[in-house]
A = this chain, B = another copy of it.
Amino acid sequence: MAAGATRGDLRDLLREWTAAAARMTRGRLIGEVTEPHAPPVDTGEAVGSPVSRLTITLGYGPALFDHRFGLAARKPAALAQLPPLPNENLDPDYTGGDLCIQACSDDPLVAFHAVRNLARLGMGVVQHNWMELGFGRTSTTTTSQATPRNLLGFKDGTRNIKAEQTGLMDGYVWVGAETDQPWLRGGSYLVTRKIRTFVESWDRDYLQDQENIIGRGKVSGAPLSGGTEFTTPDFTARDSAGQPAIPADAHIRLASFEHNGGTRILRRGYSFTDGIDPQTGTLLGGLFFIAFMKNPAQFIRLQRALAGDALNEYIHHVGSAVFACPPGLRPGQYWGGGLFT
């Protein structure tokens, strides 16, 4: 939020965003572009583009509930800045935020248009902090899609929760009756991490090392304990030398719910690139990790378990944020409705 923005400003903006998001996700302009003596309400670059499955998700950061907007009593107990975590060196240019807008679309222009226009409606009330353009969705969240690959070249999301697994969605993703804030029930927490991959180092590593680091075959996606992609990994299996078939520090072992008291999250990240580092000439890119969960403690537990991850030699977390995302709106509802009533 911008300095000096008031509780009323925030409330009004969230109402305005609701209306604009509802229009855009139906493929409509947020307002007229025909009045000659005024700036067009909609910036217009998506005129004529199909709606391209645009979805818009709003999130509230922990700091939104400080003294500025009189919202302290509405703060969910589970919403707090993430503690220091392994393998991170966070850049303030990609970290935190009072509000989050996530726009997903099959067409990057449509997603960009949505974020730009919401940000513009907030001019003077919000202040832009950071923005990331992702591509190549990783971690499929539906059983109807083949598992996509991340920039490591590995399938990503084989064991992810799938939307069809309603029991898992209710158990690990959607906030339920356990929250102290009724407005958040049916919503979720979004944790995002900008994870830089040392692409050139990774690309020099031997296939066998890469597979041991992940714990799966690169092409097949099958766990190193055998089978095919969707075979359940056998973390107790040994190879012919008597060593664990899935190494002790393999990513899929340390990240597995079996090794984290059943903890799961719904990952829904994207690849990203920041081009070339002009100082070093290295390719900047990696995983813009996004995950949804019932409580940020789930991510914290999993990320702590990854302290010994063999993959840490090749990745580094440079950005981070956590947001509480209210549930999808029904007709007549608006973002912020649960906060201001």
Interface residues of A (CB under 8 A from B): 33-40, 42-49, 92-93, 107-109, 112, 116, 119-120, 123, 127-133, 135-136, 146, 148-154, 199-200, 203-208, 210-211, 218-219, 271, 273, 275-276, 278, 281-283, 285
Contact = CB atoms under 8 A, between A and B. Distances in A.
Nearest to A119: B283
A282 to B, nearest CB: 7
Contacts of A119: 283
Contacts of A218: 33, 40, 44
A133 B273 contact: yes
Given A108-B108, A136-B108, A129 B276 contact: yes
Contact of A281 (B128, B133, B200, B205): B128
A219 B112 contact: no
Contacts of A40: 153, 203, 207, 210, 218
Nearest to A282: B128
B120 A203 contact: yes
A202 to B, nearest CB: 8
Copies in the complex: 2
B219 A33 contact: yes
Nearest to A205: B39
A148 B129 CA distance: 29
Looking at chain A's contact residues, the main secondary structure is loop
A206 B276 contact: no
B133 A135 contact: yes
Given A123-B200, A275-B131, A207 B108 contact: no
A281 to B, nearest CB: 5
B44 A219 contact: yes
A216 B241 CA distance: 73
8 contacts: A37-B208, A39-B206, A42-B153, A46-B149, A47-B219, A108-B136, A109-B135, A133-B273
A153 B107 contact: no
Given A207-B39, A219-B47, A276 B112 contact: no
A283 B39 contact: no
A34 to B, nearest CB: 7
A133 to B, nearest CB: 6
A47 B154 CA distance: 9
B273 A112 contact: yes
B278 A93 contact: yes
A131 B35 contact: no
Contact of A44 (B38, B107, B153, B281): B153
Contact of A207 (B34, B92, B131): B34
A48 B146 contact: yes
A153 B42 CA distance: 9
A221 to B, nearest CB: 9
